Amino acid sequence: MELKNLAVPSVYALICFLAYSSQVLFLYLEPHPLDRDQAIRFNALLACLFISYSRSVAVDPGHIPKSSEKEIDATGKKTRQRWCRKCEAVKPPRAHHCKQCKRCIPKMDHHCPWTQNCVSHTTFPHFIRFLFYAVVCMSYLAYFLWIRFSLLWENRHLPSYLGPSIFHLGHLFLLIAANSFTLFALSMLLIRNIWCLAVNTTTIEGWEIERHKTLLRRSRAFGGFLDGPEGTRVRIERQEFPYDVGIWTNFKLGMGTANMLAWFWPLAATPLVSTGLSFPINDFEAPTTTWPPPDPDRMSNRRAVKDTDFNINSEAFTYRDAELTPMQTVAAFRKRQDDDVVRRRKPFVARVEAWQARQGDASAEPGSYGELDAYETYGEEYEGAGEFRYGDEDVVEEHAEEGQREQRKGQGSPGGNESGEEGWRNSEGERLRDFGVDEDVEFYDEEEDDVPLSTLLARKREAAAAGYVVGGEVE
């Protein structure tokens, strides 16, 4: 049995230990048991806690329906769409591919290890109710514990035989320690989730917002441009988060209803998956602008075959894996598949340092710095950038300092093989995979242009059969 399978039983055990062993202990400590009203209120809150937690564990986080219909805005123009190569389907806005659930989840917030379920469009209301009732129950319990602890402290000079036993004292202090630590941790988590609910962001989108700010800072040093795959130059422009549509509307969308009483009712209806496939946006950006913003390091970069990989002239009509065992042949084939899907980009800091080294070594041969020669041009002057030269020492020093900060956050050795630019971490030291998403699928994202031709043809046939027509053409 894996340790992660013990997470949910452990949470239930902790709730029972804090809630019920404390009520047994109160039979032996002054002022003795809870009175009738206290017991009813406390156990009613416990029932709400158990129901909310059970629903956050058991409710399906949702499936993305495979639809061939394109998203068309009011002007009739198609918006930029993301393609999940594992689900082989279009990912709706705010959806992400969960590595644990092995599918795309609508409005995924993160995969919670303590519920063993995704916090998503359908489960978020249950999850935040669980946090709310957990904090309320533990606060109420802290009040009961404080009353009994304060009485013990006042009577600390009395003979020990007049007070509780060593076992009861140990039980009391264990309850105080466990309750205080858990209350603090869940209070911080509840405050953070209420803030995310108020501004209508998820934890993954918070990471994307910080990533966008980092790209803006980087691009300012290079005239507003950053280099993408295969030598492309991508303009980085400030983009506002589109889904913050006002605090009241944000709460309604996040909780699935405008009924405030239902926000606290543990048996409230689960939001429908269909309401989590599209979302209202604010008017700060054009309607065709999508989130997340363009990121040159996240653009799909399909690997070109090199002569060193396979010499067509010398190995034509030959089977190069003839000497491998069947298992090794399958492993080699799968590795080539993975290499063909995406080529990882080196961390930004490593690319800048490689450019520094190349600038300082005039005798360096072309190609000696790997992918830098293919599409890194930090020493060139971009069009429209005036007289500013992006090889200036102050710019390089700025990014060298940024690299040191990112390395201290645990991004690893620059240029290391274990992690590329997908290892970028935010100010809290979190990388994308820490939220439970499949990092290779999510970071190196694919858009509609990268959809396999066979899939496009099949979708076109489905659309023709369904009769979707836009502008006189079958869509």
Residue-wise pLDDT for 3-27, tens only, equals: 888 999 999 999 999 999 999 999 9
Residue at 102 is within a domain: yes
Residue at 111 is within a domain: yes
pLDDT at position 305 is 43
Residue at 214 is within a domain: yes
Query: What's the pLDDT band for 343 if we cut at 50, 70, 90?
Result: low
For residues 207 and 288, the model is more confident at: 207
Q: How far apart are CA 67 and CA 88, in angstroms?
A: 11
pLDDT tens across 398-413, in order? 455 555 555 555 444 3
The model carries a pTM of 0.77
Query: What's the pLDDT band for 370 if we cut at 50, 70, 90?
Result: very low
| Beta carbons of 200 and 253 less than 8 angstroms apart | yes
Residue at 315 is within a domain: no
Q: Does residue 449 have a pLDDT over 60?
A: no
Tally of CB atoms within 10 A around 77: 11
Lowest mean pLDDT among 52-66, 259-273, 365-379, 407-421: 365-379
Q: Does residue 195 have a pLDDT over 60?
A: yes
Residue at 273 is within a domain: yes
| Average pLDDT estimate for 178-185 | 97
Q: Does residue 468 have a pLDDT over 60?
A: no
Share of the chain above pLDDT 70, in %: 70
pLDDT at position 467 is 56
pLDDT at position 336 is 64
Distances (CA, A) of 266 to 52, 106, 291, 294: 5, 22, 32, 40
| Average pLDDT estimate for 375-384 | 36
pLDDT tens across 31-74, in order? 888 999 999 999 999 999 999 999 999 999 999 887 644 443 43
pLDDT at position 38 is 94
pLDDT at position 368 is 37
Query: What's the pLDDT band for 320 if we cut at 50, 70, 90?
Result: low
| Beta carbons of 100 and 89 less than 8 angstroms apart | no
Residue at 369 is within a domain: no
pLDDT tens across 134-181, in order? 999 999 999 999 999 999 989 888 887 777 889 999 999 999 999 999
Active site residues: 112
Query: What's the pLDDT band for 257 if we cut at 50, 70, 90?
Result: very high
pLDDT at position 443 is 80
pLDDT tens across 101-113, in order? 999 999 999 999 9
- Residue 188: give the domain boundaries: 3-302+428-466
Domains: count for the chain? 1
For residues 239 and 81, the model is more confident at: 239
CA atoms within 13 A on the CB side of 166: 0
Residue at 317 is within a domain: no
For residues 61 and 84, the model is more confident at: 61
| Average pLDDT estimate for 202-221 | 92
| Type of residue found at 78 | K
Lowest mean pLDDT among 90-94, 237-241, 300-304, 458-462: 300-304
pLDDT tens across 285-297, in order? 888 888 888 888 8
Mean pLDDT of the chain: 78
